[in-house]
Amino acid sequence: MQKIPIVSLNCDELTEKLELKQKFRAKQIFKWISEGVTSFDQMTNLSLDLRSELNEKATLRSSTISKKLVDPDGTVKLQITLSDESCIECVLLLDKKGRKTACVSCQVGCAMKCAFCKTGTLGFKRNLEAYEIIEQFLFLEKECGKLDNIVFMGMGEPMLNLTEIRKAIAILADENGRNLSTRRITLSTCGIIKGIYDLADNGPKIRLAVSLTTANPELREELMPVAKTNPLPELKKAIQYFVKTTGKRCTLEAALIGGVNTDKKSAENMINFARNMDVMINLIPWNPVSELDFTEPTKSECDNFYRELERAGLNITFRARKGKKIGGACGQLGKVN
């Protein structure tokens, strides 16, 4: 009999799936799961008979850590092997204040084919199940200690697996378990307009980041094929709707690529796109991927671009480059060697 993966089940589902005779047992099991136990024997307030029964029919981990890499800057990357032998990656990011953020994947590979992203070269295999998403968070927490935030910015396009992401968030945010605040959860999309409206209307109320990279329509279509069916004017309307509906500021992410999108005209395009919008612009110097024919921007390119946006009165920040030496930085996931 195939064991049931249970880390994505709520208390009612645990009661039903595990055929528990006492409902309060489901709350106990749910709490243990949120604390990261990897064995039913660790659930010491359950009877030996119940622990044995659970071990026969359920599993706390459907996946395994197959590789762990640690960058000198404190970034940790885990390669996770799934039950079908597919591999994904997740990353632990540490900021200057010591806050820990889990960057998790939502798909095996990615179908978006962004020209500057390593994951886009892998192709798309399948969506992850909610329990496979949660297990990444639990693995990182086991390896690195209690986490403060989670971002859906790993491998894959979150808006194309929103159902399973919603399930994962519901479990992680459940007050009977991990109780992670939705204010500490961010979803990043390459610009799936339908998904942005869906998230705005149907929740959960989490933070939104949009990978913009450039506000030049032709260049964006070249770098990000998703733009062909999700054009910039409609994307802007969707972002404005999200901000108005949720009351949450949106982050626009821009991967700065040397000699590609760092000139004054590119800055002007971005200024025009962001004007009169409640957004934060997060500038990300492109991280090198050996298979891709791009170059890192110079410090001068980055500084000049920043100053142009700053003069326009926009809210801008530079993302700290973390995990670059282990292939764990933005755009590098999938580099499993």
**Measured between alpha carbons, how far is residue 85 from residues 79, 130, 327 in Å?**
12, 17, 21
CA distance 183 to 56: 38
Catalytic status, residue 330: yes
**CA 209 distance to own-chain centroid:** 10
CA distance 13 to 95: 36
CA distance 317 to 336: 29
Catalytic status, residue 106: no
Which candidate, 173, 127, 130, 132, places its Cα nearest to that of 150?
A: 173
- Phi, psi (degrees; rounded to nearest 5) at 238: -65, -40
Catalytic residue among 11, 87, 89, 308: 89
- Phi, psi (degrees; rounded to nearest 5) at 260: -115, -55
CA distance 34 to 235: 37
Return all residues near 136 (Cβ < 8 A) that are at least 6 apart: 78, 80, 88, 90, 102, 104, 105, 154
CA distance 44 to 61: 19
Catalytic residue among 106, 114, 302, 330: 330
Per-residue burial over 253-270, b if 16 or more Cβ lie within 10 Å, else e, is bbbbbeebbbeeebbebb
Residue 164 per-residue DSSP state: H
Rounded to a whole number of angstroms, the distance between the first and last alpha carbons of the chain is 35
**Measured between alpha carbons, how far is residue 307 from residues 277, 300, 310, 313 in Å?**
19, 10, 5, 10
Q: CB atoms < 10 A from the CB of 88, how many?
A: 28
Peptide bond into 204 cis (omega under 30): yes
Active site residues: 89, 330
